[in-house]
Amino acid sequence: MGNVLTYDTWEEAKAGLVLEKLTDTMDVLKWAYREYGDEIIYACSFGAEGIVMLDLISKVNKQAAVLFLDTGLHFAETYELIEKIKEQYPGFKLNIVKPDITLLEQEALYGKELWKCDPNLCCKIRKVEPLARELGIVKAWISGLRREQSETRKSVNYINKDERFKNIKICPLIHWKWEDIWNYIRLNSLPYNSLHDRQYPSIGCQPCTHPVKEGDDLRAGRWANTGKTECGLHLAGGSG
């Protein structure tokens, strides 16, 4: 029957389930930093997956470069979490990246609340283009994508050729389930975005993120009723 893991308590069982996935994940991270050194960056959105990734990365490289795309439209809770993370991981080189134009300049060019009439263009201006600028100076980047998250992500691999940004995208969490993410957060007493406790499993910009009903898809609250499922950062072509 092979090796069968047994646990005396549920807490031990949760820890064991997390550890089973940690082996491959940590191997991928160690390889990534060994292979790319200072020419790799982690693009963090500070969602639940992001918190797990930050903690795992801290075990491999305490001075890792971390990038956050500050669209100017995030929830106050997201900015509050970033301050907590700065205190918990002081060695990280956190780069807060802003779009080339302010929200006021965007409104003057494209009209008020562009995210309502053309969310793809808004994401392109405030997320895709700033990330492209930053990824143009490194060889690889790390993402917290999981295959379980959506149809568009179910075929992502640990190491991917990123056709959009013309470099390598590394995704150490591809086999983690939502339960695994939360087991890790709780077992390690990590800070997280308080919106997760209010039915926000996936958190992006405030105007385009809504709570979801129990049982709904984890990303159902992103761009609800628009047909849009991705901001464009993780698609090979198009604006997202």
Question: Tell me, what's the pLDDT at 163?
Answer: 83
Q: What is the pLDDT of residues 46-73, one digit of tens each?
A: 999 999 999 999 999 999 999 999 999 9
Q: Is the pLDDT of residue 14 over 80?
A: no
Q: What backbone phi and psi angles, to 5 degrees, belong to 31? A: -60, -45
Position 72 scores a pLDDT of: 97
Q: Return the active site residues.
A: 231
- Band (pLDDT 50/70/90 cuts) for residue 80 is very high
Taking the alpha carbons at both ends of the chain, their separation in whole angstroms is 46
Mean pLDDT, range 111-123, rounded to an integer: 93
Arch. (CATH architecture) of 10-208: 3-Layer(aba) Sandwich (3.40)
Residue 128 CB coordination number (10 Å)? 22
What is the average pLDDT across 205-215? 87
For residue 216, the number of C-alpha atoms closer than 13 Å in the C-beta half-sphere is: 15
Tokens 């060889």 locate to 139
- Please report which confidence band the pLDDT of residue 3 belongs to, taking 50, 70 and 90 as the band edges: very low
Please, which residues have CB within 8 angstroms of residue 68's CB and are 6 or more apart in sequence? 43, 44, 45, 46, 82, 94, 95, 96, 97
Q: How far apart are CA 119 and CA 81, in angstroms?
A: 25
Question: What ranges in the chain are assigned the alpha helix state H?
Answer: 10-36, 48-60, 76-88, 103-110, 114-117, 119-123, 129-135, 178-187
Burial class (CB in 10 A: 0-12, 13-18, 19+), 161: exposed
The more confident residue out of 205 and 10 is 205
The per-residue pLDDT for 215 is: 72
Tokens representing residue 220 in the block: 């159902």
Q: In angstroms, what is the C-alpha Rg of the chain?
A: 18
Per-residue pLDDT tens over the stretch 148-203: 876 767 878 899 888 888 899 999 999 999 999 999 999 999 999 999 999 998 89
